[in-house]
Amino acid sequence: YRDSAYHTWLACTHYLRGVRDVYNYLTVTDNRLLSVLPSSQFTTIPHRAPAPAPAMALAMKRAAATAVRAISSANSASILTRQLHASAEKKKIVGVFYKAHEYAEMNPNFLGCAENALGIRNWLESQGHEYIVTDDKEGPDCELEKHISDMHVLITTPFHPAYVTAERIKKAKNLQLLLTAGIGSDHVDLQAAAAAGLTVAEVTGSNVVSVAEDELMRILILVRNFLPGHHQVISGDWNVAGIAYRAYDLEGKTVGTVGCGRIGRLLLQRLKPFGCNLLYHDRIKMDQELENQIGAKFEEDLDKMLPKWYSGDVWYPQPAPKDHPWRYMPNQAMTPHISGTTIDAQLRYAAGVKDMLENYFKGEDFPAQHYIVKEGELASQYR
Amino acid sequence: YRDSAYHTWLACTHYLRGVRDVYNYLTVTDNRLLSVLPSSQFTTIPHRAPAPAPAMALAMKRAAATAVRAISSANSASILTRQLHASAEKKKIVGVFYKAHEYAEMNPNFLGCAENALGIRNWLESQGHEYIVTDDKEGPDCELEKHISDMHVLITTPFHPAYVTAERIKKAKNLQLLLTAGIGSDHVDLQAAAAAGLTVAEVTGSNVVSVAEDELMRILILVRNFLPGHHQVISGDWNVAGIAYRAYDLEGKTVGTVGCGRIGRLLLQRLKPFGCNLLYHDRIKMDQELENQIGAKFEEDLDKMLPKWYSGDVWYPQPAPKDHPWRYMPNQAMTPHISGTTIDAQLRYAAGVKDMLENYFKGEDFPAQHYIVKEGELASQYR
């Protein structure tokens, strides 16, 4: 877990507390009921799970902040910085995306796969740049390894990430720019990237709506106990009781977000008409006007937001192996990191990557919020 | 399909049209992708599906209206009417609910099962009434059949309905009152009930919020293509492309409800912050102020609301047999009629049934909106 993973988790985790009922879930009767819930509350993390317990999360946050400071100061004395070239030099750009096979041609806007490669091949090649695209990213003999030594730019997504380790950075003598088509830099060793003077950037904001919608869906799926019912249908069963004994309305419940950044706010906004008691926890309380607008109250005590149910989307490593224990957790609604790769998000992050490449070729700056590391310096929001 | 089923369908069906993309779904690659979508729209019925096509639905609506008029007029000349007794006579009340077995004791508010029997046993028996409860409701030798001849009241739920046929009504010489714990009378032969002078009532409104929440969840599940992703996780697979090529944000799409009654309005209210283009179709256009408040525009042309994707919850018969074709429809998010039986809805409908029984014992009227048939006369909203 790196700092950005933690922040994403912070922004995306949620907490649900029933206020009407006393829940006495005492027995595990199928693999979907979690455990004893001893109090009149139930909680869920509908995203980025299993997440660290709040106390651990706070410790992680402190550790991450320390690490970030260390990188920042170490970096000011960096031996090597690589300025982004403003020259008309032809660049070698490598894109690592998931292969879509038969799905690639099914939707012209399905830009995030290796075959469609963000829809920028013709544009890049018409300018004389080389554009290598692969999904083969692991191990010493993979396709990616063949291009590491001479690539200038590496583009990847959080959904099928090229892991950029210190070792790979060391080999990548020409590398200047690491772009995330989407949001996140968990796959990059940021300390090594900063020390090597690289620039790391993402398309900030490109999937906040996608993820906020996804959150609300997962809250509803867990609270309303949707999955066991659907599984009964497709497996030939019929047992209303096995669903209804722990299916709830969302109305009237307490829902809190741990973190209230852009995703948290979009989520709370969407929760408003559900008639819930909305809470948020964050490092800083919002001003009263914004609180009123969002309709959520500040909850200072993070320990009141203990998660019990899980629904997450982000894994390590990705793809997750068949025996990854999260696959077989009880009472979950996990998916294979898809929440931020809707077609709409793909259109946004493909456009964002193209814009940044255009800036890069011209030697211009990116939009400030997209930077994670700028020419070896951590972006201000990470300091 | 009876009139009330149609109305429920009318209130609960929805329509989604993409406004940003051209969708070219040309191949069926797994059992979840439906079929060719030839235009720039995609649509869904997240509830009560498979539903009749709109043209058929309109024909059904006309037929239903005719039938209702026929019942109303036939009934004014009814041979037999059974006035609800105001006497202190002891009543035999039969409740038909689903058995919960091990789940019954897991939640004290799980009132809708046979074991917990709406939580009214002590109250009924303390007043000297007899309360028979069973889940055994089918065939000539079932437990229900043994009590038909002398029961005064039959309570059942839409989730495990006791089918009240003309034949059963004929046998039920003492029967006065048919109560639905929940909403709906699809399980009752209303014509026969009216002709026999019975009263049929439901707990109107007890699960409109439950169903509206459920609708929004199903829209998100289908639009965001949640289920194939979750199924990959639990089955050990990992194929982001197989999900992402047809996963969309809800934002910016056109969402319409076919019918805009209580459920439709609650749904539209909850959809408002999603940034969709909201439409509704109904027999009557709402006044401008209400339209503005709900944020949806009237769409007169029902043919523009053709459904393509399905997610439903109500079946016939219930329980559905293992070979029911709806179980194996492609691209669906069906459940075994649970949307209106959340714990919160159970608390509301159990309270509503108790209130009506209390009225019945005292010879008082029910709340007007709960009547479907009142002492042989169809309630005004059905005329």
pLDDT per residue as tens digits for the range A67-84: 444 444 444 434 455 655
Q: List the alpha helices (DSSP H) in chain A.
A: 3-12, 54-76, 121-126, 143-148, 166-171, 190-195, 208-223, 226-235, 241-244, 262-271, 288-294, 343-362
More confident residue, B376 or B133: B133
Same domain, residue pair B115 and B153: yes
In this predicted structure, the answer to whether residue B259 has a pLDDT above a threshold of 50 is yes
The tokens describing A350, both together, are 């493909």
Question: CA of A244, closest CA in chain B: separation in Å?
Answer: 6
Same domain, residue pair B301 and B375: no
Tell me if B181 sits within 8 A of B159, measured CB to CB: no
Same domain, residue pair A299 and A217: yes
In this predicted structure, the answer to whether residue B228 has a pLDDT above a threshold of 80 is yes
Of A209, A234, A336, Cβ closest to residue B249: A209
Of B210, B220, B244, Cβ closest to residue A338: B244
pLDDT at B309: 60
Same domain, residue pair B188 and B229: no
More confident residue, B36 or A346: A346
In a domain, A259, yes or no: yes
pLDDT at B137: 96
CB pair distance less than 8 Å for B107 and A230: no
Q: Name the DSSP class of B321.
A: P
**Tokens 């696959």 found at:** A327
pLDDT at A306: 61
d(CA B160, CA A161): 48
Among B285, B300, B327, the domain boundary falls at B327
Same domain, residue pair B228 and B303: yes
Full residue range of the structural domain in which residue A309 is found = 207-327
In a domain, A84, yes or no: no
In this predicted structure, the answer to whether residue B79 has a pLDDT above a threshold of 60 is no
Model ipTM over 0.85? no
Same domain, residue pair B144 and B292: no
Global confidence as pTM: 0.77
In a domain, B19, yes or no: no
Q: Name the DSSP class of A369.
A: G
Q: How many residues does chain A have?
A: 383
pLDDT at B119: 94
Contacts of B232 in chain A (CB under 8 A): 335-336
| Cα dihedral value B268, B273, B276, B277, nearest 10 | 60
In a domain, A51, yes or no: no
Report how many domains make up chain B. Answer: 2
Mutate to test the interface with B, among A222, A249, A263, A266 (most CBs of B within 10 A): A249
In a domain, B9, yes or no: no
In a domain, B215, yes or no: yes
Same domain, residue pair A225 and A136: no
Same domain, residue pair B314 and B375: no
In this predicted structure, the answer to whether residue B64 has a pLDDT above a threshold of 70 is no
pLDDT at A67: 40
CB-based burial label for A77 (10 Å; 0-12, 13-18, 19+): exposed
In this predicted structure, the answer to whether residue B240 has a pLDDT above a threshold of 50 is yes
Of A213, A230, A272, Cβ closest to residue B224: A213
CB pair distance less than 8 Å for A224 and B217: yes
Give the three-class secondary structure for B9: helix
CB pair distance less than 8 Å for B338 and A216: no
pLDDT at A83: 58
Same domain, residue pair A219 and A256: yes
Q: String of b and e for B22-36 (b: at least 16 CB within 10 Å)?
A: ebbbeeeeeebbbee
In a domain, A162, yes or no: yes
Same domain, residue pair B140 and B103: yes
CB pair distance less than 8 Å for A249 and B210: yes
d(CA A309, CA A49): 9
**Average of pLDDT values for B321-346?**
86
d(CA A264, CA A270): 10
pLDDT at B100: 95
Contacts of B207 (CB under 8 A, 6+ apart): B182, B183, B339, B340, B341, B342, B345, B348, B349
Mutate to test the interface with B, among A245, A326, A347 (most CBs of B within 10 A): A245
Contacts of A335 in chain B (CB under 8 A): 226, 229-230, 232-233, 243
In this predicted structure, the answer to whether residue B50 has a pLDDT above a threshold of 60 is no
In a domain, A165, yes or no: yes
Q: How many CB pairs under 8 A join A and B?
A: 255
Same domain, residue pair B183 and B222: no
Same domain, residue pair A222 and A234: yes
In this predicted structure, the answer to whether residue B168 has a pLDDT above a threshold of 50 is yes
| CATH number, residue B261 | 3.40.50.720
Quickly state the pLDDT bin for B372 (edges 50, 70, 90): very high
Which residues of chain A, if any, have pLDDT below 50?
Answer: 1-79, 86
Q: At what angle do helices B3-12 and B54-76 cross, to 10 degrees?
A: 140
In this predicted structure, the answer to whether residue B326 has a pLDDT above a threshold of 90 is no
Instruction: Name the least confident of A63-72, A188-197, B192-201, B369-378.
Output: A63-72
